[in-house]
């Protein structure tokens, strides 16, 4: 696929999507958001035969994504602003619902819409030079791509309120301490480490991984009883799959499972 602001590497079963607008620190303009939506739809359709995992990162050594494109955004009227926010929200929701696991490899600034993008991924690995924050209040705005919703879910309401109200940037070690990043790595090792984790996941049953991602997301919004029902339904559905037969047979026969995603 040819994009102006993205690079999609599709070799092997773990793919890498790089936001590629380094002159603007990979800030999200409307064209980039549209391309992101197209690329994600392609990833979705490529599961499970071609793609079993996705790394999202930013081009260059300085920035993952420095937020929504402030220069483009300031020219919007309130109706266009709502369309822009809804577009971003729906693309980020698409990430959250992808059938494959997604790691945000945060290689520098992840600010505003950039942190919101990372929060829509399944988890975050950060480089040691990463800086994360939601600086929207400094611009007279609030987070518009899900930051007020997802940050509190990841680090807790009070920690999220402090970051959102102050607009402060935090460093990688603070992000790790807050549980915002799962790992901190030297920049040169960041993408390889994310790929390695996804390669491990890719050896597991693809439908089981997909099902666990979906159940965990759905059950998060439900009370315990409904969440357990969601889980038991998902569990039961896997008993219709070839992969479940293969995985359990392989255990009994003391061999490695050969999953096919069926
Ligand atoms: N938008 C557009 N251009 C940006 C940008 C951004 N977010 N961030 C950086 N750039 C551009 C700079 O303008 C500069 O371009 P030139 O001037 O060279 O043409 C180039 O990238 C390099 O940036 P700097 O020269 O500023 O680099 P520094 O190392 O000095 O500083 C920085 C790096 C990341 C600290 C600084 O660039 C910065 O503070 N950037 C802005 C960070 C920020 O505030 N991000 C949050 C954006 S607001 C909503 C929808 C969405 C949102 C909100 C509401 N609704 C519609 C309701 C989301 C909002 C946001 O994400």
Residue 143 falls inside a structural domain: yes
Least Cα distance to 239 among 251, 248, 230, 250 occurs for: 248
| Same domain? 16 vs 62 | yes
Q: Using the atom order of ligand 1, give the atom closest to the CA of residue 143.
A: 53
Catalytic residues, by residue number, are 116, 136
Tell me what pLDDT residue 99 has.
Answer: 98
Asked if residue 181 lies in contact with residue 55, where contact means CB atoms within 8 angstroms, the answer is no
CATH number for the domain spanning 194: value is 3.90.226.10
Query: What is the length of the chain?
Result: 262
Alpha helices in the chain (DSSP H): 30-45, 70-73, 78-97, 113-120, 147-155, 157-166, 172-178, 187-202, 206-220, 224-237, 242-252
Q: How far is the CA of 112 from the centre of ligand 1 (A)?
A: 9
Are 24 and 86 found together in one domain? yes
Q: Examine residue 94 and state whether it is found in any structural domain, yes or no.
A: yes
Token pair listed for 20: 């590629």
For residues 179 and 231, membership in a common domain is answered with: no
Low-confidence ranges of the chain (pLDDT < 50): none
Report the number of distinct structural domains present in the chain. 2
Residues 197 and 210 in one domain: no
CATH number of the structural domain spanning residue 233: 1.10.12
In this structure, the answer to whether residues 21 and 97 fall within a common structural domain is: yes
* Same domain (yes/no): 129, 71: yes
Within-domain flag for 138: yes
In which element (H, E) is residue 184 found? strand 183-185
* 198, 210: one domain: no
Q: Which atom of ligand 1 is nearest to the CA of 138?
A: 44
As for ligand 1, residues whose beta carbon falls within 6 Å of it are 24-25, 27, 66-71, 81, 84-85, 88, 109, 111-113, 135-136, 139, 141, 143-145
Q: Which pLDDT score is estimated for 9? A: 98
Q: Are residues 37 and 153 in the same domain?
A: yes
| 259 domain-assigned | no
Q: Are residues 80 and 93 in the same domain?
A: yes
Indicate whether 39 and 60 sit together in one domain. Answer: yes
- The tokens for 140 are 């007279």
Distance 56 CA to ligand 1 centre (A): 19
Q: Is there a domain that residue 1 lies in?
A: no
Task: Work out the number of other CB atoms within 10 angstroms of the CB of residue 204.
Answer: 16
Q: What is the pLDDT of residue 1?
A: 84
Q: Which domain holds residue 121?
A: 6-202
Note the pLDDT tens digit of each residue in 153-192: 999 999 999 999 999 999 999 999 999 999 999 999 999 9
Q: What is the pLDDT of residue 163?
A: 98
The pLDDT score that the predictor gives to residue 26 is 98
The whole-number pLDDT of residue 85 equals: 87
CA dihedral 170, 172, 178, 180 (to 10 degrees): 100
**Residue 170, domain member (yes or no):** yes
Pair 155, 102 in one domain: yes
Same domain, residue pair 71 and 192: yes
């Amino acid at each position: 696929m040819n994009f102006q602001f993205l690079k999609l590497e599709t070799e092997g079963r773990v793919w890498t999507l790089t936001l590629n607008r380094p002159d603007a620190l990979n800030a999200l303009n409307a064209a980039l958001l549209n391309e992101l939506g197209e690329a994600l739809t392609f990833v979705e359709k490529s599961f499970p035969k071609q793609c079993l995992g996705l790394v999202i990162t930013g081009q260059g050594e300085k920035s993952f994504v420095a937020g929504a494109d402030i220069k483009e955004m300031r020219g919007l009227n309130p109706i266009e602003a709502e369309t822009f926010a809804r577009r971003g929200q729906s693309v980020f929701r698409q990430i959250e619902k992808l059938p494959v696991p997604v790691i945000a490899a945060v290689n520098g600034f992840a600010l505003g819409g950039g942190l919101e993008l990372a929060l829509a991924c399944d988890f975050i690995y950060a480089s040691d030079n990463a800086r994360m924050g939601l600086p929207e209040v400094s611009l007279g705005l609030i987070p518009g791509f899900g930051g007020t919703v997802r940050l509190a879910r990841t680090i807790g309401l009070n920690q999220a309120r402090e970051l959102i109200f102050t607009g402060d940037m935090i460093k990688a070690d603070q992000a790790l301490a807050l549980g915002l990043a799962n790992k901190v790595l030297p920049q040169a090792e960041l993408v390889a480490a994310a790929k390695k984790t996804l390669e491990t996941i890719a050896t597991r049953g693809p439908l089981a991984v997909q099902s666990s991602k979906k159940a965990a997301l759905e059950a998060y919004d439900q009370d315990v009883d409904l969440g357990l029902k969601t889980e038991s339904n998902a569990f039961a559905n896997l008993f219709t799959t070839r992969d479940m037969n293969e995985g359990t047979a392989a255990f009994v026969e003391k061999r490695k499972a050969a999953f096919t995603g069926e």
